[in-house]
Amino acid sequence: MSSVVNPLISVVIPTYNHAHYLGRCLQSVLDQTYENWEAIVIDNHSTDNTDEVVRNFAEPRIKLLKIHNDGVIAASRNMGIRAARGEWVAFLDSDDWWRHNKLQVCIDISNSQIDLLYHDLKIVREIPVRFQPRCIKSRQVKKPVIIDLLVNGNAIATSSALVRKKLLDQIGGMDERKNLVAAEDYNCWLRISQITDNFKYIPEELGCYLLQRGGMSRKDMSVSMQHATDSFSHLLNHKQRKKYFAVLKYSKGRFAYLTKDYGKSKNNLLFSARYGSFLTQLKSLWMLMVMWSLK
């Protein structure tokens, strides 16, 4: 258990023009069997009826803050972190939602030796996508965690993470540089792993991740991933660096596959299949087999 029997959890929810999703997101927080929480919605001055959605809940545990984040979602999350009063901070994107027992499961597992918890997420699609996984399946990162995250890739989906607030304060929150957009969470976990290796994976689907048409899931993440990880790559030996670059190549190959640039995808995936960690090799070979099946 946590150092406090029923610690307050601050749920940080950045949003922009997601009123049509936000109600489901907030309802999933209200439905939690664990009740000692506060939800902080940080709105990037939406032009839809976001304010009305929040107001209609008439729930004193839900707070609404306003920000102009200039397209940097880390700035919104940082505002939420600064406002958070809880021992723990849980991140939840406004188009995602949780199972009713997510917070209770995390708190039941937590103890003084755990600083960050995370879990699997079910993938829910707005549009059908062939040969795509149904779950964001994570793994227990091995110690030293920073090396695992670099050579095997990001294991922690943002909407699954529960982090001790004192650690987020210690690292100064998420990095707000624009070239890290969409990988600021990855960078955050890396910086936390410089302080602690106490990461705990829960092998359950405790939430749902919405795969939107034209969302981040269909953008090239490799550039922002490289910016997010560059300052840590000096920690790797020669063999580990090849695995690290294979993670970036896999990301490039995956994006090229999604945009049907199969030649570029194949070139990148062949590199990642050859030099990547076992996990990266498996994912690369699977995608190469998918492309072969499309011929």
* pLDDT tens digits, one per residue of 39-48: 999 999 999 9
The pTM (predicted TM-score) of the whole model is 0.94
Those residues whose C-beta lies under 8 Å from the C-beta of residue 58, and which sit 6 or more positions away, are none
- pLDDT cut 90: percent of the chain above it: 88
Count CB atoms within 10 A of the CB of residue 122.
Answer: 14
Handedness of CA 49, 53, 56, 59 (dihedral sign): negative
Q: What is the pLDDT of residues 54-74, one digit of tens each?
A: 999 999 999 999 999 999 999
The three-class DSSP label of residue 73 is helix
Angle at 156 (CA atoms; ends 41, 106), nearest 5 degrees: 70
pLDDT beyond 90 at 163: yes
pLDDT at 216: 46
Strands (E), the chain: 9-15, 37-43, 62-66, 88-91, 97-98, 116-125, 135-136, 162-164, 199-211
How is residue 153 written in tokens?
């890739």
Q: What is the pLDDT of residues 259-293, one digit of tens each?
A: 889 999 999 999 999 999 999 999 999 999 988 88
How is residue 104 written in tokens?
């209770």
pLDDT at 64: 99
User: What phi, psi does 82 have (nearest 5°)?
Assistant: -65, -35
Q: What is the pLDDT of residues 137-158, one digit of tens each?
A: 999 999 999 999 999 999 999 9
Instruction: Determine the Cα–Cα distance for residues 7 and 35; give it in Å rounded to an integer.
Output: 10
How far CA 235 is from CA of 86, 147, 178, 254, in Å, comes to 33, 8, 24, 26
Evaluate whether 31 touches 100 at the Cβ level (below 8 Å): yes
Query: What pLDDT band is residue 130 in, cutting at 50, 70 and 90?
Result: low
How far CA 63 is from CA of 66, 160, 166, 289, in Å, comes to 10, 21, 21, 48
Instruction: Determine the Cα–Cα distance for residues 91 and 74; give it in Å rounded to an integer.
Output: 11
